[in-house]
Structure 1
């Protein structure tokens, strides 16, 4: 689509997609209710309290008073702030007949999860962690995690359909990726928040995403991410900052590994240093320096 993640057109597109998915989903919920019956709570009666009436003054305008009993389908179809975004005809069908479910949409931070399906599933609202990076996986019988190269789905698709020589960080020329090929390492933190805010408008259940920030990200800017998320009305979000001194992590970029030095203390008290992406032979096996360091430090070496 040639849209840069977080750009105005990408925000508009994100909202449009989630809107269509939600509206079509509720229409299907109505069809399922006709076939198999509405959710039981749709016929359940709820007593109107002063607090509820204060939050929904339109109920009073419709003649509903404190102490009245109103069915769940009516509360959902006519008085849910979320449902009031949808066409009146759809809402009235829900209020009249009920729907098969009470909630339709939820978005999880599926950047890593999408890899588990053959790297052929959508990231949801997550950008790719990187277009070429390392994933640390547990192999039975191996004493530390194994470093495995991973390529993003969009890079593989681009190489197949457009340019088979394209690679991240390629020098200007035939292998250079277009500018809209961004990943979590070069997407501004606020763009993550903006994307979630665009999607969240049409998500009635839970939604969250991961905001990746560089290791050297200033604390004041980091702190402001949460204030900005609050201002945008986000239900929730989380941040990830690569910190090699604390934890190696599951997904690691080659740049982070190359720029991180690990120090190993030998039995005689001497130390050796190695870059995170260097290979070390230890205890009869080959390990990346980063994974060996993490396994020894965390105490899981040899326990897989």
Structure 2
């Protein structure tokens, strides 16, 4: 039990280091993954000039102090359960395994594929070479990794948010925008509400890029194509002291004519609902049960095949 806790602590240090080192690299955005995911603890997005789309990959980050990481002559050999390997190969995003070298304060990495992973009994092993360091050229290397359409990858990355909304959890989106300072970078705050919607349970930062002369509110539909976005009506009515419904994505206040503050709510739109159904089928072969007619006709139902099927029911 103790070694498992030490492994988790060492890997957590690696995740923090990956976030810190990514912030120093142009064209790369690091996003930590919510806990509970199987085998992925972060995502990395390569950023191209808007409106071009970048590319998203899933990350599994370990430390050279992890007991499941072995130092060899060519690189680090990482091992794990077959559950992770099957999950990675079936994922709609490319997956990269990184190892953090604490003494050298650097990351080395390797793409996960059927060609790079070896099966050994009930485990897999992957060699992460010393000479493949995480740096300025990594973005171009990632861009060459095979994956689904970047649009499908975008939806796959946001799947946890869609699942939370489908489960009835409230998602708040808050944004502050400097109106008189053109910038290509913006930042959102996403909050997951408690089941009774009385308090925030988790808060996440959501960095994004846009054109310097584009108001941030016009970027929201492309950031959340799966969501219907609307003002938090109860909050706006309280702050504005107006019982009328707020129309459009307007800020609830503009401070000193400089900072516009928004508080919005996300709900699944038609695309989001359709993606969750499609994703269930793509990942697990699950599909909605077809409506079964009650009467197929007497001649059809007298057939042997129908009688056998009916008997199995």
TM-score class, shorter-chain normalisation, is: under 0.3
Greater helix share, 1 or 2? 1
Greater strand share, 1 or 2? 2
Rg larger in structure = 1
Alignment TM-score, normalising by the size of structure 2: 0.22
Relative contact order higher in (CA < 8 Å, ≥ 6 apart)? 1
